[in-house]
Amino acid sequence: MPIYLDHAATTPLRREALEAMLPYLTEHFGNPSSLHGVGRRARAGLDEAHETVAKALGASPREIVITSGGTEANNLAIKGAAWAGKARGHRIIISSVEHHAIGHTVRYLEKFGFEVVELAVDRYGRVDPDEVEAAITPRTILVSIMLANNEVGTIQPIAEIAERVRRYKGVLLHTDAVQAAPYLPIDLASLDVDLLTIAAHKLEGPKGVGALFVRHGTNILAQQQGGSQERYRRAGTEHVAGAVGMARALELAVAERAETAPRLRRLRETFTAAIVAGEGVVETGHPTDRLPGLASFVAPGLDGSAVAMSLDLADLACSTGSACVSGSTEVSHVLTSMGYPAEEARGALRFSLGRTTTEAEIAEAAALALAALAHQREASVALAAQRRATLGRPVGAAAAAEAGVEASAG
């Protein structure tokens, strides 16, 4: 089995969640909207899932809309709030480090006349609550700032942001808690947000299921039309087994959090100390206000995807801070927003621990990562020396042709 340190991408489905789901994939297969017994049993499972998710978040079951994941919940929050608020205003405020499920959604809304304000972040990826407040105008309808970042783990001062947003009547506050939900305490009775997103597959639940908390009295427009499911907020026959699996996984994550979070923090600190002791690697994100198990770095001058690929060959699964689009590495918008030049951001690496990560895995992963980084460093030094030697030669026809090829591939 490879060492899996990519829990921020997805987690394995935990056995208890699978066991809770199985009856709803087999004997309780009914449609929860059917009136007969088979349907009623599915309905009971779905209702219980709403109750469990609500209890875990300090909400009430009616405030939970079950969706197909974090992306859909974010879309529903942003588009739902935008269209419901259109008569009052058109200004939406986000941060520059949001997940694309927020960033691309607001860019889409710009096409319909909404105005998007993207707030800058500091070197650690944090938004200043004063800047949130300063950006609010009478035309502002929505603020969306994530609870914790998926690339660098930085936790946003969401309670302070909520306190500022609350001073302005009619401005809704959404937070993307997809990465935070497994590891940070979330109590919606005290956290003053109107909308909050979670995704099951980041907390050892199934993929393709998530939830949007919609505070009682918050008006959002449904984004898909059809049946009356989820109290008219999300039409379509529900993924009952998925909802049940998410509820069980979330319930367990919350119950175990007091043990999991400090243990992951210790493991991550050990790992980070080992990695930054290597040559030319620095931690990214906030040094203390960060997700307990998310270790992120840049190795300036190196290609993070080359390091991640060599680690994959050594049976260690990690990721870079950037998304790969058709083979070409796109530089992370999170790191560039934090002030890292593109050449440095290319050296991004992310190792995200999970509940099942062990001390032995961390020791082995640190040794593998240090070896891979040193190897890449040597290779890049050798390559630079070779380039210098090549450029020093008199330029012949073959060399010119080679230079031409290199220029067109760059």
Contacting ligand PLP (CB under 6 A), which of 46, 54, 101, 369?
A: 101
Contacting ligand PLP (CB under 6 A), which of 45, 205, 206, 210?
A: 210
The yes or no reply on residue 150 touching ligand PLP (CB under 6 A) is yes
Say how far apart CA 376 and CA 68 lie, in whole Å.
Answer: 40
In angstroms, what is the minimal distance from the CB of 6 to ligand PLP?
11
Report the sign of the C-alpha dihedral through residues 123, 124, 125, 131, in that order: negative
> Phi and psi of 114, rounded to 5°?
-75, 145
Contacting ligand PLP (CB under 6 A), which of 45, 70, 85, 242?
A: 70
- The residue from 273, 309, 323, 324 that is catalytic is 324
Judged by CB under 6 A, which stretch of 120-128, 173-181, 264-272, 371-379 contacts ligand PLP? 173-181
Specify the residue, 6 or 344, whose C-beta has the smaller distance to ligand PLP.
Answer: 6
Tokens linked to 102: 């927020």
The yes or no reply on residue 178 touching ligand PLP (CB under 6 A) is yes
In angstroms, what is the minimal distance from the CB of 338 to ligand PLP?
16
The yes or no reply on residue 146 touching ligand PLP (CB under 6 A) is yes
Say how far apart CA 192 and CA 187 lie, in whole Å.
Answer: 9
Contact 134, 167 (CB under 8 A): no
Which residue(s) pair with 67 in the sheet? 210
Q: Is 324 a catalytic residue?
A: yes
Question: DSSP secondary structure string, 261-324?
Answer: HHHHHHHHHHHHHHHHTSTT-EE-S-SSSB-TTEEEEE-TTS-HHHHHHHHHHTTEE-B-SS-E
Contacting ligand PLP (CB under 6 A), which of 71, 175, 260, 319?
A: 71
Beta strands 115-119; 172-176: pairing state: unpaired
Say how far apart CA 5 and CA 372 lie, in whole Å.
Answer: 15
Which residue(s) pair with 383 in the sheet? none
In angstroms, what is the minimal distance from the CB of 38 to ligand PLP?
29
Specify the residue, 201 or 333, whose C-beta has the smaller distance to ligand PLP.
Answer: 201
Specify the residue, 179 or 376, whose C-beta has the smaller distance to ligand PLP.
Answer: 179
Contacting ligand PLP (CB under 6 A), which of 6, 63, 118, 176?
A: 176
Judged by CB under 6 A, which stretch of 124-132, 174-182, 301-309, 344-352 contacts ligand PLP? 174-182
Say how far apart CA 340 and CA 336 lie, in whole Å.
Answer: 5
Active-site residues, by number, are 324
Q: Which residues bind ligand PLP (CB under 6 A)?
A: 69-71, 74, 99, 101, 146, 150, 176, 178-179, 199, 201, 210
